[in-house]
Amino acid sequence: MTRTLLLPLALAACCLAQPPSEDVLKQAAQEMVEGRRQLTQRMVDSIFSFSELGYQEHQTSAYVTAILEQNGFKVTRGIAGLPTSWVAEWGAGKPVIGFMADIDGLPETSQTPGVAFHRPLIENSPGHGEGHNAGQAV
């Protein structure tokens, strides 16, 4: 008798369950982004401070991959024989989503933060005048 009663109740619960509304999903996404605001700014600032040229991004690669690993990603380093390259994987199945992380600085683009014109921190030094420091954090 109990099984006969539980089966219709279980089916009713499954059929009546509603997915969250779009507003609820937007609010949840907004809260997750807001919850990572300080980490994002720390990442932007840290990567900006490393300012490593292409194929020399050792500090930047170590920094970003450590954060990925702390957040459950499996990181494979040294892709295609490049010591600063890596692939980070999380989850399994479909869909597969890829992001590119352009983490190098450029020669002679050292820049004082918060200044809207070129004012080098260190004259003739590499920097992130192109904004590559911001993409990884996001």
In a domain, 62, yes or no: yes
Whether residue 14 lies inside any domain: the answer is no
User: Quick check: is 13 in a domain?
Assistant: no
The answer to whether residue 7 is domain-embedded is no
Tens-binned pLDDT, residue by residue, of the chain (138 aa): 555 666 666 666 666 678 889 999 999 999 999 999 999 999 988 998 999 999 999 999 999 999 999 999 999 999 999 999 999 999 998 988 888 878 888 999 998 888 888 899 999 999 887 776 777 666
Largest Cα span, the chain:
83
Count: domains in the chain: 1
Question: What is the extent of the structural domain holding 77?
Answer: 25-135
Model pTM? 0.76
User: What CATH number is given to the structural domain containing 49?
Assistant: 3.40.630.10
Residue 3 domain flag: no
Domain membership of residue 67 (yes or no) is yes
Could you give the CA distance from residue 105 to residue 123 in angstroms, rounded to a whole number? Answer: 15
Detail the DSSP E strand segments found in 11-121.
74-77, 86-89
